[in-house]
Amino acid sequence: MSRAAKKPDPPLKFEFTTNSVRNTTVSVDDDKFIYEIVTRYWHPNITKINKVDVESREVRLIAEIEKAASPGAEERVRLGGEGAQWVDASEFLKQEANGATTWVSETGEEYRWDKQKGKLALLKASEEAEKPEPLAKYHPHKRHFFFFRMSKHAWLEVKPEAVGALDQLIISYILVERKRRHGKA
C-alpha cells in the first residue's frame, strides 16, 4: 500500500488590526506570530516594530524606521534593535526599473515585492516564470458600502516557506506600503 503525498501546510493569515502602517498589530489567529507596529506621539518620526513571543511573554524590538528628516532626505532603517546601525531604506530595499522592490534575507535569499493582478505580492527574485506563485500576498481591507466601517480587515497571506524570513518580510512590507501610500512607488 502506497502512502499519499503529504498535503502542504496552508498559508498563514496575518491580519492587520487597523489600516495604518504606523500603528497596528499584525498577527495570526492562534497568536503564534504577533508583530506590533507603533509610532509613539513623543517620537513621531520613529516607527518601532516589535515581535511578541507569546510563550515567554517577551516583547523584542526587531527594527525601527525613521521618517525622512527633510523633504529631500530618505527614510532610514535600523534592524536588530537599539545597538544596531541606521541604514538608508534604499540599502535595505532596492528599487528596480520595472517597479518591483527587492531585498535580501539574512539567509541570503533574494525576494521581490511586485504587483500581481493589482495586489502586492512577494516572489523569489530568482523565479522568472510567466506566472510565479507568490510566497506572500497582501489583501486590502473592505468597507461597508465603500465608506463606512471595515467589513473585512486587511491581511497578509504568507506561505510556510517564507516563515524563515518573516521579520524582514514584515519590515519590507511596511516600507513598500508606506512608499506606495505616499506616492513614491
- What value does the mean pLDDT of the chain take? 85
Contact 74, 83 (CB under 8 A): no
Q: How confident is the model at residue 132 (pLDDT cuts 50, 70, 90)?
A: confident
Q: Which letter does DSSP use for residue 165 in this model? A: G
What tens digit of pLDDT does each residue of 137-182 get? 988 877 766 666 666 778 899 999 998 899 999 999 999 988 888 7
Contact 54, 31 (CB under 8 A): yes
Contact 119, 137 (CB under 8 A): yes
Cα angle, residue 53 at apex, residues 15 and 31 outer, rounded to 5°: 35
3-state secondary structure of 160: helix
- Domain boundary assignment for the chain: 12-181
Please indicate, yes or no, whether the overall pTM of this predicted structure exceeds 0.75: yes
Task: Fill in the amino acid letter for 98.
Answer: N
Contact 138, 153 (CB under 8 A): no
